[in-house]
Chain A
Amino acid sequence: MTEAYIYDALRTPRGRGKATGSLHATKPVSLVVGLIDELRKRNPSLDQDRIEDVVLGCVSPIGDQGGDIAKTAAIAAGLPDHVGGVQLNRFCASGLEAVNQAGQRVRSGFEDLIVAGGVESMSRVPMASDGGAWAMDPETNFKTSFVPQGIGADLIATLEGFSREDVDAYALESQTRAAKSWADGAFERSIVPVVDRNGLVVLDHDEHVRETTLEGLSGLKPSFAGIGEMGGFDAVALQKYHWVEAINHVHHPGNSSGIVDGAALVLLGTEEAGKQNGLTPRARIVATAVSGADPTIMLTGPTPACEKVLAKAGMTVDDIDLLEINEAFAAVPMKLMKDLGFPHERTNVAGGAIALGHPLGATGAMLVGTMVDELERRDLRRAIVTLCIGGGMGVATIIERV
Chain B
Amino acid sequence: MSNKKNKKLTPVQQEYQNLAKAKEVKRNVLKNSLKAFLVGGSICVFGQGLQVIFIKYFKFTEETAGNPTSAVLIIISVLLTGFGVFDHIAQWAGAGTSIPVTGFANSIASAAIEHRSEGFVLGVGGNMFKIAGPVITFGVFSAFVVGIIKVTIKWLGGM
Q: Do A and B bind each other?
A: no
Binding site for B on A (CB under 8 A): none
B-side interface residues toward A, CB under 8 Å? none
